[in-house]
């Protein structure tokens, strides 16, 4: 296996795992958020399909004797468009997150945290909310 094909395989599997985790998060939040979680799942679907089709193509590269569906190139092209739209939306949201003033974000967190009954829990949420969201945004941008 050549280095570019190995890197392609690693990135495909990594993205498949990360997008699968996001799909699980959206499905788990479905009862609480309703339609917005369905919208997230619909946006994830082309990216997941694209990663799966890339794995099929990689298997064909590694074992050229295996038969490949004649529609695979067109399916990869179409799912690439959906995956590209997913990446643009993710990068747009990450850019908007980093443009948000940390003081404004902290005010939002303070208003949200006031519903927590335990003062210790409030302090912990205020301390870790922004760094956790920032790390998640960086991780999400990396997968796009």
pLDDT tens digits, 98-128: 787 777 777 777 776 666 667 776 676 667 6
Instruction: Summarize the chain as % helix, strand, coil (round to 5).
Output: 85, 0, 15
DSSP symbol at 118: -
Residue 86 has a pLDDT of 81
Residue 32 has a pLDDT of 73
CA atoms in the 13 A half-sphere facing the CB of 58: 19
Q: Residues in the chain with pLDDT < 70?
A: 1, 112-117, 121-122, 124-126, 128-130, 139-144
What ranges do the domains of the chain cover?
A: 1-84, 100-144
Residue 143 has a pLDDT of 66
Residue 73 has a pLDDT of 87
Residue 144 has a pLDDT of 61
Structure tokens at 128: 């870790």
* Model-wide pTM > 0.75: no
């Amino acid at each position: 296996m050549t280095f570019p094909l190995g890197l392609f395989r690693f990135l495909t599997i990594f993205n498949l795992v990360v997008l699968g985790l996001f799909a699980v998060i959206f499905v788990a939040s479905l009862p609480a958020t309703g339609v917005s979680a369905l919208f997230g799942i619909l946006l994830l679907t082309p990216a997941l399909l694209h990663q799966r089709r890339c794995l099929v193509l990689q298997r064909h590269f590694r074992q050229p004797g295996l038969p490949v569906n004649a529609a695979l190139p067109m399916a990869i092209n179409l799912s690439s468009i959906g995956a590209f739209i997913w990446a643009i939306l993710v990068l747009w949201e990450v850019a908007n997150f980093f443009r948000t003033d940390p003081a404004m974000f902290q005010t939002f967190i303070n208003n949200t945290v006031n519903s927590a009954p335990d003062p210790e829990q409030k302090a912990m949420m205020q301390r870790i909310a922004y760094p956790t969201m920032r790390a998640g945004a960086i991780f999400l941008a990396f997968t796009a």
